[in-house]
Structure 1
Amino acid sequence: MNQYFNFSVARKELNLSQEEMAEEIGISRVTIGNTERGKNLSHQYLNHLEKKGYSKEWLLGESDVKKTLNNDFTKNDKEFIILELREENKELKKENKSLRQELYDLKDKFMAFQGFVMLHAHKFKQDELQSLSNSLGKDKTLLEHGFVAVKKNGYKSSNVLFEN
């Protein structure tokens, strides 16, 4: 394989014959053939394929990176991608709004439970409170089952758990 083999690969990916490519660029078919066989390098051919999105390094056999980032997509592709990203952004904003509302609801529930605990903490036996409080540190599944930990009066020993 010659060092300019990728020129013919790119041309074939564009579904063009040597003649069609030569006509598109404004050079002879012989120049296209000579470049593809590695006899000489046509800078016009190279520049034309770069404009089509192929990397110069790949065309010259110096890299495995075929496409450049700036020219990978046609104008229609770019417009489609922009529309898709805008739609996805709208969906994410809706989801974010929903999650934010869920967070506010949970915060309100927590505040209500905290108030309940402060009003009714005297009804629980201290050893039951301590046992539940200790369980929270050992078993995270209590949180998954809807239990909430609350500090009363800023003392760790008076943590309590309530079921939602």
Structure 2
Amino acid sequence: MNATDLAKARDQSAPPPDADSTAEQSMAGLLRPHVWSFAAIVILQVIGAIAGLAPLLAVVELGRTLLSHGPIDHGHVWIVVFAGAAGLFVRLVFTAASSGLGHLLDGQAQLSFRRQLAAAGARTDRLVLQAPDRRAGNGGGDDELLRPGGRYADFWNISMAPVASE
């Protein structure tokens, strides 16, 4: 390789970014504001799952105590029963908190996505809609996308039918 080859290699433009990597970057950008809420949901789920082991361990300990030779320690049996019940309660509380937080996060994320999509739509007069299988897409303004027989037109008719009938 000589200096001419190096100059040609340096002058070549970088290849365009892969569409999948661009989509991943944009998805990460959309989810970044909600990362702490996602983390809290995972932590609450983990605590609930670990607490859910307490009743199982309590049943094992209760069986070991009741099947042992000799007199039964009633105090120990009640402690084991209460520990199992407390584990069930902790699991219920943390799982419910995770579910509630997940519901709130879902609403916030959807609202955020819709606002960003509306802002993007306001900046342009042309939309590109891609089918879920990523093989076919439709693009154009509202008039072009609403032509009869297209997927977007079908979606528009289904989604706007209740509004038009009111």
Using the size of structure 2 for normalisation, the TM-score is 0.34
More strand by share: 1
Which gives a bigger RCO, structure 1 or 2 (Cα 8 Å, sep 6+)? 2
Structure with greater Cα Rg: 1
